[in-house]
Amino acid sequence: MRFSLRRRPGPVSTGDPPEDPDAPAGHRLEPGGIDEAGHALRAPSRLHAFNRYEIKYLVPSGEVPALREHFARRLHRDTHGGATGYGVWSVYYDTTGLRFYWEKIEGLKFRRKLRIRHYGDRFTIDDDTTVYVEIKQRVNRVTQKRRVALPYALARQLCDGREMVEHDPAQRAFLEEVLGLVAGLELRPTAITGYQREAFVGRDADVGLRVTLDHRIRGRDRDFHLGADTTNRLVVPARLAVLEIKANERVPYWLTDLAARANLSVVRMSKYCQSVEAFGRAPRSVFHVPGDDPTVALTRNEAR
């Protein structure tokens, strides 16, 4: 994957705070990139959509502190999760033949996946918890994500019950698309992934940049209620973290230089595909990250 590394003038300020597109919908940043006080979950706008480029690296856990220090000097920490980050839990939907999985493995120029995502502690999830129904798709090199926020009970009614739910008129086209996917392709829950995320957001000339470090990537292939008090297993070795760089149009020189100095290599690893393969739902592909035995269960505290 090739990106333009030529520096361009930063965006002209309009006086409006930019939105962080990968935090829970409705979270906004103050002018200059500083998070609003408390960085609390807020009522989301009716429909969120954005395009971006994404690059992933695998990072040995021992190298994370040095990278974190570099990021802290050049970026603002996303304070939604404080100093330790926040949990991200997703249930992915696919066909019985794993259509979305194979589209990723085969590298189709247009591919997509459907998921329900929750930010935070999974043991707090109930029917009224706000979650995000998302369609994430790839069009050539560009990643596009669209999502709406719903109470978890309505999200399940839509995706599991295949029924239209009460909605804002601005959400209708998107919800009809989701309903068309789950009903037309007979999608069903296939895998759950969870991890602890540290996030950093760009400032000054790097507004629009987002860098994340994901730790303790785990999941399960059953008990598909996001809040289920059940066993999770590692799907990526605990000795590795996943670094993702997400940019609207370019990756800054300092960040690509940092990755080169750390001897990091770009990977095509998908957390969803990794989970499918780790639990034996599909043969391990050339993109699979080998390592610890995924049948080793985590403790309850680790699984959180």
pLDDT confidence of 49, banded at 50, 70, 90? Answer: low
Are the C-beta atoms of 39 and 46 separated by less than 8 Å? Answer: no
Query: Can you give the pLDDT at residue 69?
Result: 94
Contacts for 82 with CB less than 8 Å, ≥ 6 apart:
none
Query: Can you give the pLDDT at residue 47?
Result: 62
Write down the domain spans for the chain: 46-303
More confident residue, 3 or 190: 190
Q: Cα separation of 145 and 157, whole Å? A: 21
pLDDT confidence of 11, banded at 50, 70, 90? Answer: very low
Mean per-residue pLDDT over the chain, rounded: 83
Q: What is residue 93's DSSP assignment?
A: E
More confident residue, 275 or 17: 275
Is it the case that residue 291 has pLDDT exceeding 60? yes
Q: Is the pTM of this model over 0.85?
A: no
**Half-sphere exposure for 47 (CA within 13 Å, toward CB):** 12
Q: What percent of the chain has pLDDT over 70?
A: 79
* CA 114 to each of CA 132, 196, 234, 238, 300: distance values in angstroms, whole numbers, following the listed order: 11, 21, 22, 26, 27
CATH 3.20.20.70: does it fit domain 46-303? no
Is it the case that residue 18 has pLDDT exceeding 70? no
Is it the case that residue 9 has pLDDT exceeding 70? no
**Half-sphere exposure for 76 (CA within 13 Å, toward CB):** 22
User: Sign of the CA dihedral 65, 67, 73, 75?
Assistant: negative
